[in-house]
Protein backbone atom coordinates (compact mmCIF):
# COMPACT_ATOMS: atom_id res chain seq x y z
CA UNK A 1 0.00 0.00 0.00
CA UNK A 2 1.37 3.46 -0.85
CA UNK A 3 2.61 5.03 2.39
CA UNK A 4 1.12 8.40 1.39
CA UNK A 5 -2.34 6.85 1.65
CA UNK A 6 -4.14 5.49 4.69
CA UNK A 7 -5.99 2.19 4.59
CA UNK A 8 -9.18 4.28 4.68
CA UNK A 9 -8.28 5.67 1.25
CA UNK A 10 -6.77 2.56 -0.25
CA UNK A 11 -9.26 -0.16 0.74
CA UNK A 12 -13.03 -0.16 0.89
CA UNK A 13 -15.10 -1.38 3.82
CA UNK A 14 -15.62 -4.78 2.21
CA UNK A 15 -11.89 -5.37 1.85
CA UNK A 16 -11.07 -4.04 5.34
CA UNK A 17 -13.63 -6.48 6.77
CA UNK A 18 -12.18 -9.61 5.18
CA UNK A 19 -11.52 -12.41 7.73
CA UNK A 20 -7.74 -12.39 7.33
CA UNK A 21 -5.32 -13.96 9.81
CA UNK A 22 -2.23 -12.36 11.30
CA UNK A 23 1.03 -14.27 10.92
CA UNK A 24 4.77 -13.66 10.45
CA UNK A 25 7.15 -13.92 7.52
CA UNK A 26 10.03 -15.36 9.55
CA UNK A 27 13.62 -14.23 9.11
CA UNK A 28 14.92 -15.35 12.50
CA UNK A 29 13.87 -18.69 14.01
CA UNK A 30 15.67 -19.95 17.10
CA UNK A 31 14.77 -23.61 16.60
CA UNK A 32 16.53 -24.95 19.69
CA UNK A 33 14.85 -22.48 22.06
CA UNK A 34 11.49 -23.04 20.39
CA UNK A 35 11.88 -26.82 20.79
CA UNK A 36 12.48 -26.34 24.50
CA UNK A 37 9.40 -24.15 24.87
CA UNK A 38 6.84 -26.14 22.85
CA UNK A 39 7.94 -29.47 24.33
CA UNK A 40 7.40 -33.01 23.05
CA UNK A 41 3.82 -32.49 21.88
CA UNK A 42 4.75 -29.45 19.84
CA UNK A 43 7.80 -31.13 18.35
CA UNK A 44 5.68 -34.10 17.34
CA UNK A 45 3.70 -31.74 15.10
CA UNK A 46 6.88 -30.15 13.76
CA UNK A 47 8.40 -33.55 12.94
CA UNK A 48 5.24 -34.75 11.20
CA UNK A 49 5.11 -31.63 9.02
CA UNK A 50 8.81 -31.87 8.13
CA UNK A 51 8.40 -35.53 7.15
CA UNK A 52 5.67 -34.52 4.69
CA UNK A 53 8.04 -32.23 2.77
CA UNK A 54 8.80 -33.64 -0.71
CA UNK A 55 12.10 -35.51 -0.83
CA UNK A 56 13.02 -33.58 -3.96
CA UNK A 57 12.86 -30.21 -2.21
CA UNK A 58 16.17 -28.34 -2.77
CA UNK A 59 18.23 -27.87 0.40
CA UNK A 60 17.87 -24.06 0.48
CA UNK A 61 14.09 -24.27 0.03
CA UNK A 62 13.82 -27.01 2.63
CA UNK A 63 15.49 -24.75 5.21
CA UNK A 64 13.02 -21.97 4.46
CA UNK A 65 10.05 -24.32 4.71
CA UNK A 66 11.30 -25.84 7.96
CA UNK A 67 11.53 -22.33 9.42
CA UNK A 68 7.92 -21.75 8.40
CA UNK A 69 6.88 -25.01 10.05
CA UNK A 70 8.55 -24.02 13.32
CA UNK A 71 6.96 -20.58 13.03
CA UNK A 72 3.46 -21.93 12.45
CA UNK A 73 3.57 -24.37 15.36
CA UNK A 74 5.17 -21.82 17.66
CA UNK A 75 2.63 -19.10 16.87
CA UNK A 76 -0.17 -21.53 17.64
CA UNK A 77 1.58 -22.27 20.93
CA UNK A 78 1.72 -18.51 21.59
CA UNK A 79 -1.99 -18.19 20.79
CA UNK A 80 -3.02 -21.04 23.08
CA UNK A 81 -0.90 -19.64 25.92
CA UNK A 82 -2.09 -16.08 25.20
CA UNK A 83 1.36 -14.53 25.43
CA UNK A 84 1.03 -10.79 26.11
CA UNK A 85 2.49 -7.85 24.24
CA UNK A 86 5.64 -6.12 25.45
CA UNK A 87 3.50 -3.21 26.63
CA UNK A 88 1.43 -5.54 28.77
CA UNK A 89 4.54 -7.12 30.29
CA UNK A 90 5.93 -3.69 31.20
CA UNK A 91 2.61 -2.43 32.58
CA UNK A 92 2.07 -5.51 34.75
CA UNK A 93 5.62 -5.97 35.89
CA UNK A 94 5.32 -9.69 35.28
CA UNK A 95 5.58 -12.21 32.48
CA UNK A 96 8.71 -13.65 30.89
CA UNK A 97 7.63 -13.94 27.26
CA UNK A 98 6.15 -11.25 25.03
CA UNK A 99 4.70 -11.46 21.55
CA UNK A 100 4.11 -8.19 19.73
CA UNK A 101 5.00 -5.93 16.84
CA UNK A 102 7.53 -3.35 17.96
CA UNK A 103 9.71 -0.58 16.55
CA UNK A 104 13.42 -1.33 16.86
CA UNK A 105 16.13 1.32 16.62
CA UNK A 106 18.91 0.90 14.04
CA UNK A 107 21.59 -1.62 14.95
CA UNK A 108 24.47 0.14 13.22
CA UNK A 109 27.08 -2.56 13.86
CA UNK A 110 24.84 -5.48 12.85
CA UNK A 111 27.15 -6.63 10.04
CA UNK A 112 30.29 -6.34 12.18
CA UNK A 113 29.39 -8.45 15.23
CA UNK A 114 28.47 -12.03 16.06
CA UNK A 115 25.98 -10.98 18.73
CA UNK A 116 23.88 -7.92 18.04
CA UNK A 117 21.78 -5.70 20.28
CA UNK A 118 18.60 -4.07 19.00
CA UNK A 119 16.97 -1.47 21.22
CA UNK A 120 13.23 -0.99 21.53
CA UNK A 121 11.79 2.42 20.61
CA UNK A 122 8.95 3.27 23.05
CA UNK A 123 5.85 5.09 21.86
CA UNK A 124 5.83 7.48 24.80
CA UNK A 125 7.59 8.18 28.06
CA UNK A 126 8.69 5.12 30.01
CA UNK A 127 11.30 4.36 32.63
CA UNK A 128 12.10 1.03 30.99
CA UNK A 129 14.91 0.33 28.56
CA UNK A 130 14.40 -2.83 26.52
CA UNK A 131 17.03 -4.64 24.46
CA UNK A 132 17.02 -7.70 22.23
CA UNK A 133 20.29 -9.62 22.11
CA UNK A 134 20.77 -12.30 19.47
CA UNK A 135 23.23 -14.11 17.23
CA UNK A 136 23.47 -12.53 13.79
CA UNK A 137 24.13 -16.00 12.33
CA UNK A 138 20.52 -16.96 13.07
CA UNK A 139 19.13 -14.13 10.95
CA UNK A 140 18.52 -16.05 7.73
CA UNK A 141 16.70 -13.39 5.72
CA UNK A 142 18.77 -10.73 3.96
CA UNK A 143 15.79 -8.39 4.10
CA UNK A 144 15.49 -8.76 7.87
CA UNK A 145 19.24 -8.21 8.23
CA UNK A 146 18.90 -4.91 6.41
CA UNK A 147 15.88 -3.82 8.44
CA UNK A 148 17.55 -4.68 11.75
CA UNK A 149 20.55 -2.68 10.61
CA UNK A 150 18.41 0.32 9.64
CA UNK A 151 15.65 -0.02 12.25
CA UNK A 152 12.07 -1.12 11.54
CA UNK A 153 8.80 -2.44 12.90
CA UNK A 154 9.32 -6.14 13.52
CA UNK A 155 7.07 -8.95 14.74
CA UNK A 156 8.84 -10.47 17.74
CA UNK A 157 8.40 -13.28 20.23
CA UNK A 158 11.08 -13.07 22.91
CA UNK A 159 11.90 -14.44 26.35
CA UNK A 160 13.24 -12.41 29.27
CA UNK A 161 16.92 -12.97 29.96
CA UNK A 162 17.59 -10.38 32.67
CA UNK A 163 15.97 -7.44 34.44
CA UNK A 164 18.04 -4.96 36.42
CA UNK A 165 17.62 -1.25 37.15
CA UNK A 166 14.66 -0.92 34.74
CA UNK A 167 16.73 -2.46 31.92
CA UNK A 168 15.19 -5.57 30.42
CA UNK A 169 17.16 -7.85 28.11
CA UNK A 170 15.22 -10.34 25.99
CA UNK A 171 16.36 -13.29 23.88
CA UNK A 172 14.33 -13.43 20.62
CA UNK A 173 12.85 -16.78 19.63
CA UNK A 174 11.14 -15.54 16.48
CA UNK A 175 11.49 -12.34 14.44
CA UNK A 176 10.08 -11.37 11.07
CA UNK A 177 7.68 -9.09 9.26
CA UNK A 178 3.96 -8.84 10.02
CA UNK A 179 2.10 -10.78 7.37
CA UNK A 180 -1.48 -11.60 6.42
CA UNK A 181 -2.96 -14.93 5.44
CA UNK A 182 -6.24 -15.57 3.63
CA UNK A 183 -8.13 -18.84 3.33
CA UNK A 184 -9.57 -17.53 0.09
CA UNK A 185 -7.04 -17.99 -2.73
CA UNK A 186 -8.43 -15.03 -4.66
CA UNK A 187 -6.95 -12.64 -2.09
CA UNK A 188 -3.54 -14.29 -1.66
CA UNK A 189 -1.68 -12.03 -4.08
CA UNK A 190 -3.23 -8.84 -2.70
CA UNK A 191 -3.12 -9.19 1.06
CA UNK A 192 0.68 -9.23 1.18
CA UNK A 193 0.60 -5.49 0.42
CA UNK A 194 -1.83 -4.66 3.24
CA UNK A 195 0.39 -6.03 6.04
CA UNK A 196 1.04 -3.48 8.75
CA UNK A 197 -2.05 -1.30 8.37
CA UNK A 198 -4.66 -4.03 8.21
CA UNK A 199 -7.12 -4.66 11.12
CA UNK A 200 -7.87 -0.94 11.55
CA UNK A 201 -11.51 -0.02 10.99
CA UNK A 202 -13.48 3.19 10.66
CA UNK A 203 -17.01 4.05 11.76
CA UNK A 204 -18.46 3.61 8.26
CA UNK A 205 -17.35 -0.05 8.30
CA UNK A 206 -19.82 -1.02 11.06
CA UNK A 207 -23.42 -1.73 10.10
CA UNK A 208 -24.85 0.20 13.08
CA UNK A 209 -22.83 3.31 12.15
CA UNK A 210 -23.07 3.07 8.37
CA UNK A 211 -25.69 5.83 8.10
CA UNK A 212 -22.77 8.28 8.24
CA UNK A 213 -22.16 7.50 4.57
CA UNK A 214 -25.43 9.25 3.70
CA UNK A 215 -24.43 12.64 5.13
CA UNK A 216 -21.49 14.95 4.57
CA UNK A 217 -18.64 14.70 7.04
CA UNK A 218 -18.31 17.89 9.16
CA UNK A 219 -15.22 20.06 8.91
CA UNK A 220 -15.71 22.05 12.14
CA UNK A 221 -15.43 19.95 15.32
CA UNK A 222 -16.10 22.84 17.74
CA UNK A 223 -19.56 21.45 18.78
CA UNK A 224 -17.71 18.50 20.37
CA UNK A 225 -16.31 20.93 22.95
CA UNK A 226 -19.74 20.93 24.58
CA UNK A 227 -20.42 17.18 24.46
CA UNK A 228 -19.36 15.35 27.58
CA UNK A 229 -18.22 11.75 27.80
CA UNK A 230 -21.59 10.91 29.36
CA UNK A 231 -23.47 12.70 26.57
CA UNK A 232 -21.63 10.80 23.85
CA UNK A 233 -22.02 7.53 25.75
CA UNK A 234 -25.80 7.94 25.90
CA UNK A 235 -25.95 8.65 22.18
CA UNK A 236 -23.76 5.62 21.46
CA UNK A 237 -25.98 3.38 23.61
CA UNK A 238 -29.08 4.64 21.81
CA UNK A 239 -27.61 3.90 18.38
CA UNK A 240 -26.62 0.40 19.49
CA UNK A 241 -29.78 -0.31 21.47
CA UNK A 242 -27.73 -0.91 24.61
CA UNK A 243 -28.48 -0.14 28.25
CA UNK A 244 -26.30 2.58 29.77
CA UNK A 245 -23.83 1.19 32.26
CA UNK A 246 -22.67 3.21 35.25
CA UNK A 247 -18.97 4.04 35.59
CA UNK A 248 -17.05 2.44 38.44
CA UNK A 249 -13.43 2.51 39.56
CA UNK A 250 -12.45 -0.97 38.37
CA UNK A 251 -13.87 -0.75 34.87
CA UNK A 252 -11.72 -1.81 31.95
CA UNK A 253 -13.80 0.04 29.34
CA UNK A 254 -16.40 2.81 29.27
CA UNK A 255 -18.91 0.84 27.22
CA UNK A 256 -19.15 -2.78 26.11
CA UNK A 257 -21.54 -4.10 23.50
CA UNK A 258 -22.36 -7.27 21.63
CA UNK A 259 -24.76 -5.41 19.33
CA UNK A 260 -22.21 -4.32 16.72
CA UNK A 261 -21.93 -5.89 13.28
CA UNK A 262 -19.09 -5.80 10.77
CA UNK A 263 -20.55 -6.43 7.33
CA UNK A 264 -23.27 -8.62 8.80
CA UNK A 265 -20.95 -10.45 11.20
CA UNK A 266 -21.73 -9.86 14.88
CA UNK A 267 -18.73 -8.67 16.90
CA UNK A 268 -18.29 -7.68 20.52
CA UNK A 269 -16.74 -4.28 21.12
CA UNK A 270 -15.17 -2.36 24.00
CA UNK A 271 -15.04 1.45 23.95
CA UNK A 272 -12.68 3.88 25.66
CA UNK A 273 -14.42 7.28 25.65
CA UNK A 274 -12.79 10.65 26.24
CA UNK A 275 -14.78 13.85 26.57
CA UNK A 276 -13.65 17.48 26.23
CA UNK A 277 -12.23 17.98 29.72
CA UNK A 278 -9.06 18.62 27.76
CA UNK A 279 -10.31 19.79 24.36
CA UNK A 280 -7.03 19.13 22.62
CA UNK A 281 -5.46 16.37 20.51
CA UNK A 282 -5.28 13.10 22.43
CA UNK A 283 -1.75 12.07 23.35
CA UNK A 284 -0.62 9.27 25.62
CA UNK A 285 -0.75 11.67 28.57
CA UNK A 286 -4.56 11.65 28.22
CA UNK A 287 -4.65 7.95 29.01
CA UNK A 288 -3.53 7.69 32.60
CA UNK A 289 -0.24 6.77 34.17
CA UNK A 290 1.77 4.37 32.00
CA UNK A 291 -1.01 4.48 29.36
CA UNK A 292 -2.96 2.17 31.66
CA UNK A 293 -6.33 2.96 30.10
CA UNK A 294 -5.32 1.27 26.85
CA UNK A 295 -3.80 -1.58 28.85
CA UNK A 296 -7.12 -2.04 30.67
CA UNK A 297 -9.11 -1.73 27.45
CA UNK A 298 -7.01 -4.48 25.87
CA UNK A 299 -8.00 -6.87 28.67
CA UNK A 300 -11.64 -6.78 27.61
CA UNK A 301 -12.78 -10.01 25.87
CA UNK A 302 -13.83 -8.00 22.83
CA UNK A 303 -13.41 -8.61 19.11
CA UNK A 304 -12.99 -4.88 18.45
CA UNK A 305 -11.27 -2.20 20.56
CA UNK A 306 -12.42 1.39 19.97
CA UNK A 307 -10.98 4.68 21.25
CA UNK A 308 -13.16 7.80 20.98
CA UNK A 309 -12.16 11.39 21.66
CA UNK A 310 -13.74 14.81 21.16
CA UNK A 311 -10.65 16.11 19.32
CA UNK A 312 -7.87 14.65 17.15
CA UNK A 313 -6.08 11.42 18.12
CA UNK A 314 -2.31 11.58 17.80
CA UNK A 315 -0.08 8.92 16.18
CA UNK A 316 1.43 7.68 19.48
CA UNK A 317 -2.03 6.71 20.73
CA UNK A 318 -2.82 5.01 17.43
CA UNK A 319 0.44 3.05 17.50
CA UNK A 320 -0.12 2.01 21.12
CA UNK A 321 -3.64 0.68 20.59
CA UNK A 322 -2.50 -1.20 17.51
CA UNK A 323 0.39 -2.76 19.45
CA UNK A 324 -2.05 -4.13 22.04
CA UNK A 325 -4.66 -5.24 19.50
CA UNK A 326 -2.45 -6.91 16.88
CA UNK A 327 -0.05 -9.62 17.98
CA UNK A 328 1.98 -11.94 15.72
CA UNK A 329 -0.15 -14.95 16.70
CA UNK A 330 -3.54 -13.25 16.62
CA UNK A 331 -5.19 -9.95 15.85
CA UNK A 332 -8.21 -8.05 17.01
CA UNK A 333 -9.85 -5.27 15.05
CA UNK A 334 -9.49 -1.71 16.32
CA UNK A 335 -10.98 1.68 15.52
CA UNK A 336 -10.46 5.34 16.35
CA UNK A 337 -13.38 7.76 16.49
CA UNK A 338 -11.89 11.24 16.61
CA UNK A 339 -13.81 14.49 17.09
CA UNK A 340 -14.73 14.76 13.44
CA UNK A 341 -16.03 11.19 13.23
CA UNK A 342 -17.80 11.59 16.59
CA UNK A 343 -19.69 14.64 15.32
CA UNK A 344 -20.35 12.90 11.99
CA UNK A 345 -21.96 9.99 13.87
CA UNK A 346 -24.14 12.24 16.04
CA UNK A 347 -25.33 14.27 13.05
CA UNK A 348 -26.04 11.22 10.90
CA UNK A 349 -28.31 9.73 13.58
CA UNK A 350 -29.96 13.02 14.58
CA UNK A 351 -28.53 12.88 18.10
CA UNK A 352 -26.44 16.05 18.27
CA UNK A 353 -29.06 18.10 20.13
CA UNK A 354 -29.83 15.20 22.49
CA UNK A 355 -26.12 14.71 23.21
CA UNK A 356 -25.76 18.41 24.02
CA UNK A 357 -28.74 18.23 26.41
CA UNK A 358 -27.45 15.06 28.09
CA UNK A 359 -24.07 16.76 28.48
CA UNK A 360 -25.66 19.75 30.24
CA UNK A 361 -27.48 17.44 32.65
CA UNK A 362 -24.34 15.46 33.40
CA UNK A 363 -22.48 18.68 34.26
CA UNK A 364 -25.25 19.75 36.64
CA UNK A 365 -25.34 16.33 38.35
For residue 277, what pLDDT is reported? 83
Whole-angstrom distance, CA of residue 176 vs CA of residue 102: 11
Closest CA to 85 of 332, 323, 330, 303: 323
- CATH 2.40.50 domain range(s) in the chain: 22-181
Classify residue 211 by burial, with Cβ atoms within 10 Å: 0-12, 13-18, 19+. Answer: middle
- CATH 3.40.1350 domain range(s) in the chain: 199-364
What does each C-alpha distance from 303 to 16, 100, 332, 333 come to in angstroms? 15, 18, 6, 6
For residue 252, what pLDDT is reported? 83
* Contact between 311 and 341 (Cβ < 8 Å): no
For residue 1, what pLDDT is reported? 45
Q: Which residues contact 272 (CB under 8 A, 6 or more apart)?
A: 253, 254, 287, 293, 294, 297, 305, 306, 307, 308
CATH number for the domain running over 199-364:
3.40.1350
β-strand pairing of 304-309 with 255-262: unpaired
| pLDDT per residue as tens digits for the range 37-68 | 999 999 999 999 999 999 999 999 999 999 99
- Residues with pLDDT less than 70, the chain: 1-5, 195, 247-250, 289-291, 364-365
Whole-angstrom distance, CA of residue 205 vs CA of residue 269: 14
Q: Which residues contact 48 (CB under 8 A, 6 or more apart)?
A: none
CATH number for the domain running over 22-181:
2.40.50
For residue 141, what pLDDT is reported? 94
* Contact between 155 and 196 (Cβ < 8 Å): no
For residue 196, what pLDDT is reported? 72
Amino acid sequence: MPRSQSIRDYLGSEERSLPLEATVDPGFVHRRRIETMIGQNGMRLVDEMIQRLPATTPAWEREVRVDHIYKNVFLEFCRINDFPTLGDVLANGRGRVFSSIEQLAPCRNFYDVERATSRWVPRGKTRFKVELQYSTKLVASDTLKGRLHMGAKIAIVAQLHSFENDRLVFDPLLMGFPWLRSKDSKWEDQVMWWGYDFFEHFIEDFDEFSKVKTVEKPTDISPMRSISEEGFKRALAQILGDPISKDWGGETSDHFTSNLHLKGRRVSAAFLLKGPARFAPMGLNHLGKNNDQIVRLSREPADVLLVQHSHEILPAVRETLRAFAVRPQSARRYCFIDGRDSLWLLQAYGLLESALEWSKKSKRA
